[in-house]
Amino acid sequence: MSKFVIVGGNKLSGEVRVGGAKNSVLPIMAATVLNGKLNVLHDIPKLSDVIIMTEILESIGCTVEREGTTLSIDSSGLNNYQIPENLVREMRSSIIFLGAILARCGKVVISYPGGCEIGPRPIDLHLRSLREMGAKIVEKHGFLFCEAKELKGTEIQLDFPSVGATENIILAAVFAKGTTTIRNAAREPEIIDLENYINAMGGKVSGAGSATIYIEGVEELNSVEHQIIPDRIVAGTYLAAAAITKGNIFLNNVIPEHIQSILYKLKECGCHIVSKNNTIRLEAPEKLIAVDSIKTLPYPGFPTDMQSQMMALMTVSDGISVFIETIFENRFKHAEELTRMGASIKVDGRVAIVKGVKKLTGATVNAKDLRGGAALILAALAAEGKTIVEHGKHIERGYDHLEEVLKSLGANIKYLK
Ligand code: EPZ
């Protein structure tokens, strides 16, 4: 089993470049099936989720070549609309292929993605929206059999600003007859990146980043080259690593606008932050100040994907912090693992109360999900003694060469695959 072995106590300092955003790469890789031509994507991180998306693209007849951080995807050879079940079950966000393959082929068969470590992850908003656009979707034996002779532009009101549902509707609407309007759409920066990508292909999408998005159906799309936006959650995680180790870090290739809510909380806990163009410098205080409350919300609120990393910071702050997780049902699994390291955390449903302690001590802990695992690594960097973070595979899903990056900043860390 893969594990990180960390000896805490070193202050992290130095410069790091943030790579392309996982949650932008995944929907854009799905979007490459739309044009039936060559797509060249730059700044693609080396992540296990990207490997799974690559395997899915190859399984339906596309060719994918990686050269460094550039991925070339030719979807002209697409000859299959059935997504392999084992790959869907390995990565639930492959549900994003639903809209794209339906738009390209008029048919798609995909297994129900099911839940994951952080909650049941329903897709009712995805299915209801695609049905409103004219798709016939039959759910049988754990599979979704979808067909649409012609998808029609329509007005869609989302009950919740779901990121995945917003992306699936955009992808399904690109060739639809007429204009599709999405109200109460997700406003995450990754949606804007998807809009820019589709428009660079010749699509007609507008409004991404706001609560209302318009997609005008077009007949054809062309080849495209695109640079993926930086990963705001990886940027936040690196900043948190410097914050928890009393360090000093300089990030380049970040978009400060995308992480304002994270920067605000880091300043609230005593970090000195200077953002300039696409760089951010953070200098940590000797002792982190307890932030009264952290409530996760859809963008531009505080991101749920940074909740566990912020909790790691608060375990060694000078007071009490209240966490409210409004997005996912079961996203506090890292709390019990942090407690094994000496943290004082009380969890009750979607609320967790963290009382800062003087110091954490190294222990053997379990990464239960991607961001919870990242939080355990942050805690280990500050803990006294050695920590073993097991099930490192979860962390490989969203962090590219994390061991090398943290080592370059002065961490005493080894990753045993
Ligand atoms: C995306 O997941 C991200 N994943 C998640 O990042 C992120 O946490 C999440 O958005 C919220 O920002 C990718 O982009 C690949 P949602 P997604 O649909 O699209 C409920 C990470 O660590 N919901 O906005 O699945 C759902 O149960 C990952 O990088 C429905 O009820 O998120 C959840 O409670 C984790 N019905 C809430 O909405 C639906 O049809 C948010 O889900 C769809 C969603």
Q: How far is 80 from 248, CA to CA, in rounded Å?
A: 50
From ligand 1's centre to the CA of 23, what distance in Å?
A: 10
As a whole number, the mean pLDDT across the chain is 97
Q: What is the pLDDT, as a whole number, of residue 210?
A: 98
The pLDDT tens digits of the residues spanning 29-55 come to 999 999 999 999 999 999 999 999 999
What residue type is 33 in one-letter code? V
Return the ligand 1 atom nearest residue 120 CA: 27
Best probe residue, ligand 1, of 121, 187, 231, 325 (max atoms within 8 Å of C-beta): 121
Atom 8 of ligand 1, nearest CA residue: 305
Q: What is the pLDDT, as a whole number, of residue 114?
A: 73
Q: How far is 215 from 213, CA to CA, in rounded Å?
A: 7
Atom 16 of ligand 1, nearest CA residue: 162
Q: How far is 303 from 371, CA to CA, in rounded Å?
A: 11
Q: How far is 174 from 178, CA to CA, in rounded Å?
A: 10
Atom 42 of ligand 1, nearest CA residue: 162
Atom 18 of ligand 1, nearest CA residue: 162
Q: What is the pLDDT, as a whole number, of residue 305?
A: 98
Ligand 1 site residues (CB inside 6 A) read: 22-23, 26, 93, 119, 121-126, 160, 162-165, 186, 304-305, 327-328, 370-371, 398
Indicate the pairing of strand 248-252 with strand 107-111.
unpaired
How would residue 160 be classed by pLDDT, with cut points 50, 70 and 90? very high
pLDDT exceeds 80 at position 115: no
From ligand 1's centre to the CA of 331, what distance in Å?
A: 12
> ∠209-210-212 over CA atoms, to 5°?
125
Return the ligand 1 atom nearest residue 299 CA: 12
CA-only gyration radius of the chain, Å: 21
Q: How far is 365 from 316, CA to CA, in rounded Å?
A: 17
Return the ligand 1 atom nearest residue 371 CA: 22
Q: What is the pLDDT, as a whole number, of residue 416?
A: 97
34 contacts 269 by C-beta, under 8 angstroms: no
- Select the more confidently predicted residue: 108 or 114: 108
From ligand 1's centre to the CA of 82, what distance in Å?
A: 23
Question: Which CATH fold would you assign to the domain 22-227?
Answer: UDP-n-acetylglucosamine1-carboxyvinyl-transferase; Chain (3.65.10)
pLDDT exceeds 90 at position 113: no
The pLDDT tens digits of the residues spanning 282-307 come to 999 999 999 999 999 999 999 999 99
Question: Which CATH fold would you assign to the domain 3-18+230-416?
Answer: UDP-n-acetylglucosamine1-carboxyvinyl-transferase; Chain (3.65.10)
Q: What is the pLDDT, as a whole number, of residue 248?
A: 98
Q: How far is 405 from 188, CA to CA, in rounded Å?
A: 26
Q: What is the pLDDT, as a whole number, of residue 389?
A: 98
Best probe residue, ligand 1, of 88, 327, 331 (max atoms within 8 Å of C-beta): 327
Residues with catalytic annotation?
116
How would residue 118 be classed by pLDDT, with cut points 50, 70 and 90? confident
Return the ligand 1 atom nearest residue 303 CA: 12
The two tokens of residue 348 are: 């009750």
Atom 24 of ligand 1, nearest CA residue: 162
Return the ligand 1 atom nearest residue 233 CA: 29
Atom 38 of ligand 1, nearest CA residue: 162
Best probe residue, ligand 1, of 162, 170, 333 (max atoms within 8 Å of C-beta): 162
* Percentage of the chain modeled with pLDDT above 90: 96
Closest CA to 133 of 199, 193, 178, 184: 178
Q: What is the pLDDT, as a whole number, of residue 117?
A: 83
The two tokens of residue 149 are: 């002779």
Atom 21 of ligand 1, nearest CA residue: 305
Q: Do domains 3-18+230-416 and 22-227 have the same CATH topology?
A: yes
Q: What is the pLDDT, as a whole number, of residue 373?
A: 98
From ligand 1's centre to the CA of 288, what distance in Å?
A: 30
Question: What residue ranges do the domains of the chain occupy?
Answer: 3-18+230-416, 22-227
How would residue 171 be classed by pLDDT, with cut points 50, 70 and 90? very high
The two tokens of residue 132 are: 């409103």
Mean pLDDT, residues 169-182 taken together: 98
Mean pLDDT, residues 189-194 taken together: 98
Q: How far is 66 from 99, CA to CA, in rounded Å?
A: 25
From ligand 1's centre to the CA of 319, what distance in Å?
A: 31
Q: How far is 379 from 367, CA to CA, in rounded Å?
A: 12
pLDDT exceeds 90 at position 121: no
From ligand 1's centre to the CA of 124, what distance in Å?
A: 12
Rounded to the nearest angstrom, the gap between the alpha carbon of residue 315 and the centroid of all alpha carbons in its chain is 24
From ligand 1's centre to the CA of 25, what distance in Å?
A: 15
Q: What is the pLDDT, as a whole number, of residue 360?
A: 98
pLDDT exceeds 80 at position 93: yes
From ligand 1's centre to the CA of 164, what distance in Å?
A: 6
